[in-house]
Amino acid sequence: MEDVEKLLGDYFPEFYEIEDTELRRNTAATWKRAMELGSLKTRGDLDRLPFTLLLDTGANFMQKTQGMVKMAVAAASIFVETYGDLVPINMDHVIAGAILLDVGKLVEIEPDGGGGWRKSRTAELVRHPVFGAMLCWENGIPAEICNMVAFHSSEGEKHPRTPESWILHHVDFIMFDPFKFKLGK
């Protein structure tokens, strides 16, 4: 397996903007662990992985995650520009959170052996937000970022979210819901 820090930096230049070196290192360790547990081991695997099994979007997981990172940084920056310190935003958490938001999908989705994709056995029991948060916690990611990962989807509807978590929750739906409209879902 290649150097995961380099892989993350290549896909997400914002990775190197994480000022907290321990958080940057632990973000890479979380991705490495997810790749070890799942069946996706190379850049080619990551580039073929669909970002969802719910719709045939034609987009891949890495495209969606790249968009998540860029849009989350932009949204958080505009929020800070608009409100200043009225609601403090931790940009390290926004960047790491966006990179980690769907890390559980590296275990949730696997090749079906026939050129397609399917849910893994793990995914039948534990959805990617929860499994991703477990991986984050196991690798020393702060609870605030585990909150973002665990509660970015329907799992978080009745759970408190940090300001950064709210930003990522909405960006995640921006990156998905237009496909539902386009495909008539």
Confidence of residue 52 (pLDDT cuts 50, 70, 90): confident
The rounded distance, in Å, linking the Cα atoms of 33 and 49 is 17
% of residues, the chain, pLDDT over 90 = 68
pLDDT in tens, 125-143: 888 889 999 999 999 999 9
- Give yes or no for residue 123 having a pLDDT over 90: no
Confidence at 1, pLDDT banded by 50, 70, 90: low
- Residue 185, pLDDT > 90, answer no
Q: How far are the Cα atoms of 50, 135, 174 from residue 30, in angstroms, in the given order?
A: 20, 6, 25
Q: Residue 156's pLDDT is what?
A: 59
Mean pLDDT along residues 24-42? 94
Q: Supply the DSSP symbol for 103.
A: T
What is the pLDDT of the chain when averaged over all its residues?
91
Per DSSP, 19 falls in state -
Full DSSP string of 116-174: SEEE-HHHHHS-HHHHHHHHHHHTT--HHHHHHHHTSSGGGTTS---HHHHHHHHHHHH
Task: List the single range of 17-21, 144-148, 178-182 with lowest mean pLDDT.
Answer: 178-182
When pLDDT is cut at 50, 70 and 90, the band that residue 154 belongs to is low
78, 89, 141 from 38: Cα distances, Å = 36, 32, 20
Separation CA 73–CA 94 (nearest Å): 7
The lowest-confidence range among 28-32, 66-70, 135-139, 178-182 is 178-182
Q: What is the pLDDT of residues 58-89, one digit of tens each?
A: 889 999 999 999 999 999 999 999 999 999 99
